[in-house]
Amino acid sequence: MKIIKLIIFDLSNVCSNLEEPPYLEEFTKKHNLETEQFMNRYEELLEKAEINKITGTKVWKTLLKEYNLDEKPSEIIKDMISWKKFYPETLKLAKKLAKKYEVVYLTNYNKDYWDEIKKNFNIDEWFSKGFVSYQLKTRKPSPEGFKFIMDKYKVKPEETIFIDDSKKNVDAAAKIGINTIHFNNKKQLLKELKKMGVNIEK
């Protein structure tokens, strides 16, 4: 039986909804923009923001200028983050696991978005600690973030579990020897954790 010491949770689509796609779809409809083209450009800029090369505000300043739109980046960010909802059941599971294991989150966000999330939610009460891509200056699926966290907790890949809804992210973690769970729903997550020898009882 494997000895697990560290469990890393993704946030969006595991512990919360993913607020950006529905918001952006609504935004592009409102402004009569071609959704796919806009979202591709958004993602291109966002990836830079998520490793702290530019700000989240700069993402929107650039887009608004390129598409000749008259809106305030700060209001857009506030509005978008208001669409975020956390899932109590998954958070409760994380908190329960944190009594026996190091349980952390690893998420891709830029500082401006993350600051807005922190105003609305006290995420840290559910986890031992959290790590955000802009702080680490690396984003999933890059292995650097996983390695940084494992080094911090002095654990080996085989003592670590990573949970994410993205196959690309899960595959990247598995490639460096981490135990992975490709998240689908809470029932499936519990089953996979039990299979890996994780004690999920009180």
Same domain, 71 and 169: no
117 contacts: CB under 8 Å, gap ≥ 6: 81, 84, 109, 123
pLDDT in tens, 100-128: 999 999 999 999 999 999 999 999 999 99
Same domain, 63 and 108: no
From the list 178, 167, 184, the residue with the least C-alpha distance to 14 is: 184
Mean pLDDT, residues 170-178: 98
Tokens of 15: 């512990």
Tokens of 93: 């599971």
Query: For residue 193, is pLDDT > 60?
Result: yes
Same domain, 102 and 61: no
Q: How far apart are CA 90 and CA 173, in angstroms?
A: 21
Same domain, 159 and 94: yes
Same domain, 142 and 105: yes
Q: Which residues make beta-bridge pairs with 12?
A: 16
Structural domain boundaries enclosing 143: 6-17+86-195
Q: Residue 136 belongs to a domain with what CATH number?
A: 3.40.50.1000
pLDDT at 200: 86
pTM of the model: 0.95
Name the domain boundary from 81, 100, 134.
81
Name the domain boundary from 54, 81, 108.
81
Going along the chain, which residue ranges are E strands? 6-9, 102-107, 129-132, 160-164, 179-182
pLDDT at 201: 75
Same domain, 59 and 144: no
pLDDT band at 191 (very low <50, low <70, confident <90, very high): very high
pLDDT band at 43 (very low <50, low <70, confident <90, very high): very high
Residue 1 placed within a domain: no
Q: Residue 183's Cα: distance from chain center in Å?
A: 13
Same domain, 90 and 74: no
Query: For residue 13, is pLDDT > 70?
Result: yes
